[in-house]
């Protein structure tokens, strides 16, 4: 049987059968009556519930509330004060209201709010924030004569409660005395509960919408930024699958591997195209998925035969879940920067420096040769003159001696220039992977001894000690290059200890496990390496520079170091030579004694010859 009330929006309490009315008003009646009224009572609550559930915004809630309350009473207005920042007051009139009546309502609401510990506010504030939400039929009816009542005859205030939290107050007002039947208070409170939940739902929905709009705006802004970025940007998911890429990335990638589709994994892309750089990129992304950030790694994306192949810098960062629930990265952000143009400029600069250095080397060699020739001739002449001078005669300063000193300066300056030119040529070689080593067997101890002798000959202020605790010091290496390494470090030790002092060169041999997978037995010669240290007690290097001094053209420039000549290539070349031999180089400050110690290692036999 279809209920009389199902789906109805026109239900009125006054139309309710007597027994339900009594049940709602708490009028006991008979037990039998109350039991028979339950289904209809539930039906009534169902209708109210539907009205509130259907409300999609706060104004719909107000209408549902007004309609339901009007089923119970005939009254002048209802008001809703909502707690918030700021509080909000809605006045919903059932009929046109006079100014005095409204003022009186607001005064009473202020008192009620104070009584239930609402954040403090006065009548003026509440009046200013009040919003008159008049239903159409009331809003149109604005003639002065219709507004008669100036005093409130009766009122009730019911707190609006959700989850034991007072979210506001519902207040009903009428011009007549005794309108709000205390017997209907229970029903009014139930309606207030419905209204409270509906208002809270609307508030949450509004907040959710606002957040969604904000998130959408943010998303659009981000998309715009990504689209207009000149850097190519690629986003991958947690499996290294490309989930999005900007226009710059599409353009850049299309130059080498054609169109890249979203949804393809980088390793699949690498396999399809079989290009080493894509395998490297997939590897870097894999590292980032383990939580590592990779910065500015060079990728050669062009043909290796080209003079300046297409070169990119790639930086990859792990993408973490904003909620922090997942500990593993949920993807990666890949930024590719095309540096081919700057590589081309660099190459041109290098070629220029290399050509000029070559051109300079030939005249320098002749200047050096002729200077040496002149020095030898003049020395012979001076020696002859001395031999012819009778013993005991007064020593005379020969003009040739002055010439000899001048020529010594020319020679040392030429050597300085020659070193500079060699450093520039080496730098080009290292840069373009053309540092070729000529291996030979020799005794490292002999090389160190001859280097120490030659540097010692150039300085009287310093004493260079050679401390070798090793019997057999045979090594397979590029002798000239190792000489260059030791020479550079010794020259620096002398140069950067301007007040002279000791310089200590030590040589140790150690068993290394770096080559553990080598086929040789544990104590084979092949498993040994040498450690050379060169300590000075000079100006030292402050900690912030320690990590950088091996970089190209890096020089410590401050008031105390400006006096030292150099271009900052020596340590760069030294490091490249040591590493080409499979060794390592590092530096440490000497602590309280001051000065610096450089260490480098060199395997007894290079891994390529093992
Ligand atoms: P440079 O031609 O300037 O000597 P290097 O590459 O040999 O170039 O050295 C780089 C910088 O490292 C130097 O400018 C100097 O500031 C610092 N340096 C190198 N060796 C020493 C040392 N033994 N003591 C103090 N500073 C040093």
How far apart CA 186 and CA 199 sit, in angstroms, is: 20
Side-chain-facing half-sphere of 77: CA atoms under 13 Å: 31
Among protein residues, the one with the nearest Cα to ligand 1's atom 2 is 566
φ, ψ of residue 496 to 5 degrees: the values are -95, 15
Among protein residues, the one with the nearest Cα to ligand 1's atom 7 is 570
DSSP string, 534-569: EEE-SS---HHHHTTTTSTT----STTTTTS---S-
How far apart CA 578 and CA 583 sit, in angstroms, is: 5
Instruction: Report the range of poorest mean pLDDT among 22-31, 448-457, 596-605.
Output: 22-31
Q: Find the 26 Cα to ligand 1 centroid distance in Å.
A: 97
Closest to 109 measured CA to CA, from 93, 94, 130: 130
Residue at token pair 């290394």: 512
pLDDT of residue 24: 53
**DSSP H or E stretch at residue 25:** helix 18-25
| Residue 322 scores a pLDDT above 90 | no
Mutation choice for ligand 1 from 421, 541, 564, CB with most ligand atoms inside 8 A: 541
**DSSP H or E stretch at residue 31:** helix 31-54
Among protein residues, the one with the nearest Cα to ligand 1's atom 11 is 555
pLDDT of residue 116: 82
pLDDT of residue 62: 93
| Residue 550 scores a pLDDT above 90 | yes
Task: Please tell me which of 22-31, 134-143, 201-210, 480-489 the model is most confident about, judged by mean pLDDT.
Answer: 480-489
- Distance, first Cα to last Cα, the chain: 98
Cβ atoms within 10 A of the Cβ of 80, count? 26
Q: Is there a contact between 202 and 55 (Cβ–Cβ < 8 Å)?
A: yes
Q: Is there a contact between 567 and 526 (Cβ–Cβ < 8 Å)?
A: no
Q: Find the 595 Cα to ligand 1 centroid distance in Å.
A: 12
Closest to 168 measured CA to CA, from 69, 87, 93: 87
pLDDT of residue 134: 83
The rounded radius of gyration (Å) of the Cα atoms in the chain is: 46
Q: Find the 8 Cα to ligand 1 centroid distance in Å.
A: 93
Mutation choice for ligand 1 from 488, 549, 553, CB with most ligand atoms inside 8 A: 549
Beta strand extents in 7-70 (DSSP E only): none
The chain-wide mean pLDDT, for the chain, equals: 86
This prediction has a pTM of 0.56
18 or 549, which is more confident: 549
Q: Find the 284 Cα to ligand 1 centroid distance in Å.
A: 34
568 or 142, which is more confident: 568
φ, ψ of residue 365 to 5 degrees: the values are -65, -40
What's the pLDDT band for 537 if we cut at 50, 70, 90? very high
Percent of the residues in the chain that have a pLDDT greater than 70, as a whole number: 89
Q: Find the 457 Cα to ligand 1 centroid distance in Å.
A: 21
pLDDT of residue 2: 31
φ, ψ of residue 100 to 5 degrees: the values are -65, -40
* Cβ-proximal residues to 427 (8 Å cutoff; 6+ apart), any chain: 353, 552, 569, 572, 573
How far apart CA 595 and CA 381 sit, in angstroms, is: 45
How far apart CA 606 and CA 610 sit, in angstroms, is: 7
Q: Is there a contact between 73 and 154 (Cβ–Cβ < 8 Å)?
A: no
Helices 18-25 & 185-228, crossing angle to 10 degrees? 80
Task: Please tell me which of 5-14, 46-55, 393-402, 479-488 the model is most confident about, judged by mean pLDDT.
Answer: 479-488
pLDDT of residue 395: 75
| Residue 474 scores a pLDDT above 90 | yes
Q: Is there a contact between 538 and 561 (Cβ–Cβ < 8 Å)?
A: no
Closest to 534 measured CA to CA, from 444, 451, 600, 445: 600
How far apart CA 600 and CA 545 sit, in angstroms, is: 18
| Residue 514 scores a pLDDT above 70 | no
What's the pLDDT band for 14 if we cut at 50, 70, 90? very low
pLDDT of residue 99: 87
Alpha helices for 229-306 (secondary structure H): 247-257, 266-273, 276-289
Q: Find the 551 Cα to ligand 1 centroid distance in Å.
A: 11
Instruction: Report the range of poorest mean pLDDT among 51-60, 420-429, 521-530, 547-556.
Output: 521-530
Q: Find the 410 Cα to ligand 1 centroid distance in Å.
A: 24
Q: Is there a contact between 544 and 598 (Cβ–Cβ < 8 Å)?
A: no
How far apart CA 234 and CA 241 sit, in angstroms, is: 10
pLDDT of residue 143: 53
Percent of the residues in the chain that have a pLDDT greater than 90, as a whole number: 49
| Residue 405 scores a pLDDT above 50 | yes
Mutation choice for ligand 1 from 546, 551, 568, CB with most ligand atoms inside 8 A: 568
Among protein residues, the one with the nearest Cα to ligand 1's atom 8 is 568
How far apart CA 582 and CA 576 sit, in angstroms, is: 10
Give the nearest ligand 1 atom to 573 CA.
6
Q: Find the 549 Cα to ligand 1 centroid distance in Å.
A: 7
What is the tens place of the pLDDT at every residue in 574-594? 999 999 999 999 999 987 778
Q: Find the 598 Cα to ligand 1 centroid distance in Å.
A: 11
Among protein residues, the one with the nearest Cα to ligand 1's atom 16 is 556
Pairing of strands 88-93, 130-132: parallel
Helices 570-580 & 399-431, crossing angle to 10 degrees? 50
Q: Is there a contact between 104 and 83 (Cβ–Cβ < 8 Å)?
A: no
How far apart CA 530 and CA 583 sit, in angstroms, is: 9
| Residue 534 scores a pLDDT above 60 | yes
Q: Is there a contact between 181 and 147 (Cβ–Cβ < 8 Å)?
A: no
pLDDT of residue 401: 85
Q: Is there a contact between 160 and 166 (Cβ–Cβ < 8 Å)?
A: yes
| Residue 98 scores a pLDDT above 90 | no
Side-chain-facing half-sphere of 136: CA atoms under 13 Å: 1
What is the tens place of the pLDDT at every residue in 326-382? 778 999 999 999 999 998 998 888 888 888 888 888 899 999 999 999 999 999 988
What is the tens place of the pLDDT at every residue in 216-238? 999 999 888 888 888 899 999 99
Lining ligand 1 with CB less than 6 A are: 492-493, 496, 536, 538-541, 549, 554-556, 561, 566-572, 596
Mutation choice for ligand 1 from 427, 492, 504, 590, CB with most ligand atoms inside 8 A: 492
Q: Find the 492 Cα to ligand 1 centroid distance in Å.
A: 6
73 or 140, which is more confident: 73
């Amino acid at each position: 049987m279809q209920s009389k009330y199902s789906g109805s929006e026109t239900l009125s309490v006054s139309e309710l059968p007597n027994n339900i009315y009594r049940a709602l008003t708490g009028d006991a009646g008979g037990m039998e009556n109350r039991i028979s009224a339950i289904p209809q009572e539930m039906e009534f609550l169902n209708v109210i519930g539907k009205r509130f559930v259907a409300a999609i915004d706060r104004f719909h809630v107000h209408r549902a509330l007004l309609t339901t309350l009007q089923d119970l009473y005939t009254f002048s207005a209802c008001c809703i004060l909502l707690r918030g920042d700021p509080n909000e007051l809605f006045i919903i009139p059932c009929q046109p209201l006079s100014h005095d009546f409204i003022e009186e309502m607001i005064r009473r609401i202020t008192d009620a709010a104070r009584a239930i510990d609402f954040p403090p506010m006065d009548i003026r504030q509440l009046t200013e924030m009040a919003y008159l939400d008049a239903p159409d039929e009331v809003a149109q009816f604005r003639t002065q004569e219709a507004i008669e009542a100036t005093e409130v005859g009766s009122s009730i205030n019911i707190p609006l409660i959700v989850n034991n939290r007072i979210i506001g107050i519902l207040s009903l007002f009428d011009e007549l005395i005794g309108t709000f039947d205390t017997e209907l208070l229970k029903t009014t409170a139930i309606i207030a509960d419905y209204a409270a939940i509906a208002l809270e739902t609307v508030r949450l929905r509004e907040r959710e919408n606002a957040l969604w709009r904000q998130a959408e705006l943010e998303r659009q802004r981000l998309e715009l930024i990504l689209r207009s970025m000149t850097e190519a940007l690629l986003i991958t998911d947690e499996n290294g699958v490309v989930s999005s890429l900007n226009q710059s990335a599409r353009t850049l990638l299309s130059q080498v591997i054609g169109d890249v589709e979203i949804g393809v994994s980088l390793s699949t892309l690498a396999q399809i195209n079989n290009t080493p750089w894509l395998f490297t990129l997939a590897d870097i992304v894999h590292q980032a998925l383990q939580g590592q950030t990779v910065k500015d790694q060079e990728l050669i994306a062009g043909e290796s035969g080209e003079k300046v192949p297409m070169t990119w810098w790639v930086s990859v960062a792990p993408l973490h879940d904003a909620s922090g629930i997942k500990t593993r990265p949920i993807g990666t952000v890949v930024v590719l920067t095309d540096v081919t143009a700057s590589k081309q400029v660099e190459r041109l600069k290098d070629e220029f420096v290399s050509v000029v250095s070559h051109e300079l080397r030939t005249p320098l060699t002749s200047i050096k040769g002729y200077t040496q020739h002149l020095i030898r001739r003049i020395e012979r002449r001076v020696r002859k003159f001395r031999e012819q001078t009778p013993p005991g005669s007064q020593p005379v300063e020969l003009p040739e001696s002055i010439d000899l000193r001048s020529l010594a300066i020319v020679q040392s300056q030429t050597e300085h220039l020659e070193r500079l030119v060699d450093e520039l040529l080496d730098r080009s070689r290292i840069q373009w992977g053309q540092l070729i080593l000529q291996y030979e067997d020799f005794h490292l101890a002999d090389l160190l001894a001859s280097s120490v002798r030659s540097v010692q000959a150039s300085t009287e202020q310093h004493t260079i000690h050679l401390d070798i605790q090793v019997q057999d010091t045979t090594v397979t290496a590029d002798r000239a290059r190792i000489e260059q390494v030791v020479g550079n470090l010794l020259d620096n030790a002398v140069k950067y200890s301007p007040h002279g002092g000791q310089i200590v060169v030590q040589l140790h041999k150690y068993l290394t496990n770096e080559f553990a997978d080598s086929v040789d037995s544990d104590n084979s010669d092949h498993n040994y390496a040498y450690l050379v240290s060169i300590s000075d007690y000079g100006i030292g290097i402050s900690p912030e520079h320690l990590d950088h001094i091996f970089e190209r053209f890096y020089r410590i420039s401050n008031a105390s170091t400006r006096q030292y000549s150099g271009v900052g290539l020596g340590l760069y070349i030294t490091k490249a030579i040591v590493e080409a031999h499979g060794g390592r180089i590092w530096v440490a400050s000497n602590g309280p004694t001051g000065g610096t110690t450089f260490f480098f290692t060199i395997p007894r036999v290079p891994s390529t010859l093992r």
